[in-house]
Amino acid sequence: MKTLLRRGQALVGQSPPKIRQLAAVGIDAVIVVVSLALALLFRFDGRVPPHFWETFWPFAVFSAAVFVALLYASGIYRHVMRYTGIYQSVQLAAATSVAVGVLLMANLGADMLWTRPVPISVVLIGGLLAYVQLVVVRLYPRFFYEFSLREVGQKHRALIVGAGDAGVALARQLWRMPEMEIRVVGFVDEDPKLLGRQIEGATVLGGPERLEEIVNQQAADRVLIAMPEAPPEKIDRIWRECMKTGAGVKVVPRLAEFLKGETVPLRELRIQDLLGREQVEIDLDALTGFVNGKRVLVTGAGGSIGRELCRQLARLGPAQLALLDRDESALYYLEQDLQREGFAASRPVIGDVTAAGRMRELCASFKPHLVFHAAAYKHVPLMELHPDDAVINNVEGSLIAARAAGECGAEKFINVSTDKAVRPANVMGLTKRVSEMVVQAVSREYPKTVYATVRFGNVLGSRGSVVPTFQRQIEAGGPVTVTHPEMTRYFMTIPEAVSLILQAGAMADSYATYVLEMGRPVKIVDLARKIMELMRAPNVEVRFVGLRPGEKLHEELYEENERPARTGHPIIFRLTSEDELPPGVLGRVEELILHARARGPEGTVELMHALIPGRSGETRDGSGTAA
């Protein structure tokens, strides 16, 4: 049987397309003639008057020609038969209905001119029989193809968790792709009404709470989580059940991404799948109107946030995208990525935001409509050792970029900030808070340009962030170093953060600081343990090393004197502050920059504290101790 299937499949597959198409036309014509003949026999209980046979055959040939012509016009012969489904069945129904209508009119017309070729009931019944046979003959290659795939031995036995649309689509794709070497042996779903039901040839065997038992019963070595719209808390619970089994675990992406591909895009479970954040919804129409057809400049384009900004901006149809960074390797690879994604209007620029002449020259020649300022030093412990460099890059760079944007008449300047600017307890946070003040002050110098700051917490997966650090420590066998058992941080994925930066930029109409609702703060020690579980290394030692200089135990998104107001987006808030900018703030900032460039032995941090309202004379953490 297997040999015959393979030989038949090879014979059909090797035939030229024209031959296969002509064969389909011939089979369809025969089906129409046979269907009408059967209908005629039914009409007369097998005893057809001889004169009807005389008029039947010319009418049958004419009917076959009408059917074939309409099927050809509908595009049916361009379809691959082994993928026949509902869409092709609807096309066949439409073509059959039109053909029956044409034949009825031809039958009645012949009756008026000469004699009726066949009874009207024969046309109606024959059309119905023809439709059924036309569908069946096209479903046979699909059945033949899928049956031949099921005859092929699969290497892995898999359970699919989730019997919804994504799970069904996944099972269907796996049946059709023997090269994946995965056989679906059952579904796991929490809906009790589905228990025992068959889906794509596999049975729903029980709920996730029975996952360990079902894996053992079915000898499954793979668990495929097909619940792309499920909240992370549910994914976390399922993952913990999977951990008891020893089976390999994969997940499918969001359904739209899954269905658009020609492969099965299974991936490893990632830490962001378990972090307890709902999927961020983005108003793509608003973003397209914000960016489409405009010249856009991104500073710090080679960094984690800058790279993702450029990727998402490129999808929104800018006229040109200038990528500014001093890391030429990062720029090269970013441009290659954009070109692979089909975007050819990028302009890489090697440069430094602290070079005032270069920034003014770039803005004057490029004339950006939108500027996204993402260039910054961000590593807290390192900036504690180099406060002068932090001021030069983060504060002076922001001042130069903001003024250059205003001088060239940019429509908007969006400053990317951080939650470490709230009650700053370290040099990096201080420089970002002063940078926010700088952007606000420059907005008064250039009222025709809309300036805004977007403030958010930690992002997962950025260079030097805690997640890759933990992963390296786990791969090395430990220990995993955590500063404090109670330390918490807000987390967001890089794509989410960038999407919300763009959304906030689109809604900005005057100077404002926007904050992103970051969800619940995550305990760092819990994050470390989840990563250890994902990497199947739950017994690696966790060592608490104490707070480093400038670190806080908990971060905040705004201060007591800042009031969050709702915007048109549910997780973007606009802050209103009770504090006014201190008089002459830009002059004092320029003094700070001069002091930093002079590399004075002390005083840089104190000068920044003195600039921030309500913080004059405070120690680095605001209380005399590192928080």
CA separation for the pair 315, 288 (Å, rounded) = 9
CA separation for the pair 142, 340 (Å, rounded) = 35
Averaged pLDDT of the chain: 84
188 and 164 in contact (C-beta within 8 Å)?
Answer: no
How confident is the model at residue 280, as a pLDDT? 64
Domain boundaries, the chain: 2-150, 156-269, 284-611
Q: Tell me the C-alpha to C-alpha distance, in Å, between residue 152 and each of 179, 291, 386, 560.
A: 10, 50, 63, 66
pLDDT higher than threshold 80 for residue 320: yes
CA separation for the pair 60, 330 (Å, rounded) = 71
pLDDT band at 619 (very low <50, low <70, confident <90, very high): very low
When pLDDT is averaged across residues 207-217 and rounded to a whole number, the result is 91
pLDDT higher than threshold 60 for residue 626: no
When pLDDT is averaged across residues 77-94 and rounded to a whole number, the result is 76
Closest among 362, 351, 354 to 296, alpha carbons compared: 362
Top mean pLDDT of 79-83, 411-415, 475-479, 488-492 is at 411-415
Tokens of 46: 């097998």
The CATH classification number of 156-269 equals 3.40.50.720
pLDDT band at 345 (very low <50, low <70, confident <90, very high): very high
Top mean pLDDT of 26-30, 54-58, 277-281 is at 26-30
pLDDT higher than threshold 90 for residue 372: yes
How confident is the model at residue 612, as a pLDDT? 87
pLDDT band at 1 (very low <50, low <70, confident <90, very high): very low
pLDDT band at 613 (very low <50, low <70, confident <90, very high): confident
CA separation for the pair 137, 120 (Å, rounded) = 26
When pLDDT is averaged across residues 466-473 and rounded to a whole number, the result is 84
pLDDT band at 331 (very low <50, low <70, confident <90, very high): very high
pLDDT digits (tens, 9 = 90+) for 39-65: 989 888 888 888 888 888 888 899 999
Label the pairing between strands 572-577 and 512-516. antiparallel
For residues 255 and 105, which has the higher predicted lDDT (pLDDT)?
A: 105
Neighbours of 26 (CB within 10 A): 12
How confident is the model at residue 154, as a pLDDT? 56
pLDDT band at 259 (very low <50, low <70, confident <90, very high): very low
Q: Which CATH superfamily is domain 284-611 in?
A: NAD(P)-binding Rossmann-like Domain (3.40.50.720)
CA separation for the pair 622, 211 (Å, rounded) = 51
Closest among 120, 114, 133, 165 to 27, alpha carbons compared: 133
The lowest-confidence range among 169-183, 278-292, 606-620 is 606-620
When pLDDT is averaged across residues 297-316 and rounded to a whole number, the result is 94
Cα angle 201, 203, 225; round to 5: 100
pLDDT band at 7 (very low <50, low <70, confident <90, very high): low
pLDDT band at 401 (very low <50, low <70, confident <90, very high): very high
Look-up: residue for tokens 């961020």? 280
The three-state secondary structure class of 376 is coil
How confident is the model at residue 431, as a pLDDT? 96
> In sequence order, what DSSP letters do the residues of 544-580 get, joined into one string?
E--PPTT--SS--SS-TTEEEEE-SSTTEEEEEESSP
156-269 and 284-611, same CATH topology: yes
435 and 417 in contact (C-beta within 8 Å)?
Answer: yes
pLDDT digits (tens, 9 = 90+) for 98-120: 999 998 888 888 777 777 778 88
Burial-class residue 311 by CB neighbours within 10 Å (0-12, 13-18, 19+).
Answer: middle
507 and 569 in contact (C-beta within 8 Å)?
Answer: yes
How confident is the model at residue 316, as a pLDDT? 92
Top mean pLDDT of 169-178, 409-418, 549-558 is at 409-418
Q: Which pTM does this prediction carry?
A: 0.67
How confident is the model at residue 5, as a pLDDT? 46
Label the pairing between strands 156-161 and 222-225. parallel
How confident is the model at residue 272, as a pLDDT? 67
How confident is the model at residue 391, as a pLDDT? 96
pLDDT band at 615 (very low <50, low <70, confident <90, very high): low
When pLDDT is averaged across residues 176-183 and rounded to a whole number, the result is 74
Burial-class residue 371 by CB neighbours within 10 Å (0-12, 13-18, 19+).
Answer: buried
How confident is the model at residue 264, as a pLDDT? 56
CA separation for the pair 42, 65 (Å, rounded) = 23
pLDDT band at 179 (very low <50, low <70, confident <90, very high): low
pLDDT band at 147 (very low <50, low <70, confident <90, very high): low
Closest among 341, 345, 351, 342 to 301, alpha carbons compared: 351
When pLDDT is averaged across residues 71-78 and rounded to a whole number, the result is 83
How confident is the model at residue 622, as a pLDDT? 40
When pLDDT is averaged across residues 480-498 and rounded to a whole number, the result is 86
When pLDDT is averaged across residues 491-497 and rounded to a whole number, the result is 83
CA separation for the pair 564, 556 (Å, rounded) = 13
pLDDT higher than threshold 70 for residue 8: no
Enclosing H/E stretch for 62: helix 50-74
How confident is the model at residue 393, as a pLDDT? 96
426 and 420 in contact (C-beta within 8 Å)?
Answer: yes
Burial-class residue 24 by CB neighbours within 10 Å (0-12, 13-18, 19+).
Answer: buried
